[in-house]
Structure 1
């Protein structure tokens, strides 16, 4: 049985119904004064990297100060529009049941996500998923740029070795990041990557969804 289960958020536990991009675009406009024409690829990336690459596409220099201001703006927008997020998005089918079953088994759970922490907290809170998670044990965009770095940060926060953890995500980047950090990966084909791409990336197990609680728990190792 794993000592720690780490979850990606977007497209693994929930979907925002397109509102996430709208909030991102508004935060970008607020901190740069520039209307976002295009956004860098977000799949499997982190807010820090997405901001830097999106700023480059608009001819804007990006430094730690810009990221801090952006994170503050994005977090505030999530708080302000939490009710809209609840209405437009949703927890993915089966997510709450798997989280609850792990919690009932006293398995420690947290998140590893490219979201800034405040946005992650709002997203998890509006869909009632935060009660199952120890968010201080997780890692967020403020903790690094890539999945391996974030996973290592979460393991350090939780005081757990890689062999005692499992990571669930929906992208090939999640799979690769888990392997680089020495963490076993269960991939969930609920995002843009189909199951065969996740298998090709090397995921030990691929689930079509989280709707079968027993199968999900077996894949996690409980």
Structure 2
């Protein structure tokens, strides 16, 4: 396992962008479960895990606190299936981020790199998005960390590391684990969860904000695979 690096890709606004489809799914599922449409929806591009976004959605729409957990569980259960019902919309309106395919290809083809995901998406939602936009084949989604594993995003790093270790041998730790993501949550996840961070300013967070949050490296986008690979490799402890 010497020299092997686990690469944890964020999904939304790092690899792909699905516009308002997630918000549409939140609205539809909230209406189905609560019995009325929401008047407010989750903020865009925060990187917060879906279970936490659902609880916030319920609270800002004045759902009584005693009902929040029960409604949240039902909404979280429904979200992946409801998203899967919009496959055609994902194909037609979803966008692959600039450089993402070449970046994914380069990481996948490097023998010492193990590509998977750490995402605020539930597993089913992540797999649907990646499948419909043709990216799932570049990633090992049998490992990785999903919001359906834990709503606390930093905990997903250890989950992914443990799954990778079980499949490939180990151990995986901060020295040989890298997150590639666009949000402040990705930076926090790396710091608290135990991974280096390569931030990509392709979402709603600026390069300056990502640097101020402590990202080790910040890229404008994924269009330079040479730079990305150099950054993934350069800080590894021998």
TM band (smaller chain):
over 0.9
Q: How does 1:21-170 map to 2 (within 5 A)?
A: 21-41=23-43, 43-60=46-63, 61-63=67-69, 65-106=70-111, 107-159=113-165, 160-170=172-182
Structure-2 residue corresponding to 1:15: 17
Question: Is the partner of 1:109 in helix, strand or coil?
Answer: strand
CA distance in 2, matches of 1:21, 1:2: 38
Structure 1: give runs of 5+ residues left out of the alignment: none
Say which one has the larger Rg: 2
The 8 Å contact of residues 6 and 166 in structure 1, kept in 2 or not, is answered as: yes
Question: Is the partner of 2:142 in helix, strand or coil?
Answer: helix
Deviates most, 197-206 or 144-153: 144-153
CA distance in 1, matches of 2:129, 2:50: 15
Q: Give the number of equivalent residue pairs.
A: 221
The 8 Å contact of residues 2 and 166 in structure 1, kept in 2 or not, is answered as: no
Structure 2: give runs of 5+ residues left out of the alignment: 166-171
The 8 Å contact of residues 41 and 57 in structure 2, kept in 1 or not, is answered as: yes
The 8 Å contact of residues 39 and 50 in structure 1, kept in 2 or not, is answered as: no
C-alpha RMSD of the superposition? 1.6
Deviates most, 191-200 or 138-147: 138-147
User: Structure 2 length normalisation: TM-score?
Assistant: 0.87
CA distance in 2, matches of 1:17, 1:54: 18
User: Structure 1 length normalisation: TM-score?
Assistant: 0.93
Query: How far 1:2 moved relative to its partner?
Result: 4.7
The 8 Å contact of residues 23 and 42 in structure 2, kept in 1 or not, is answered as: no
The 8 Å contact of residues 155 and 162 in structure 1, kept in 2 or not, is answered as: no
CA distance in 2, matches of 1:53, 1:167: 26
The 8 Å contact of residues 165 and 183 in structure 1, kept in 2 or not, is answered as: yes
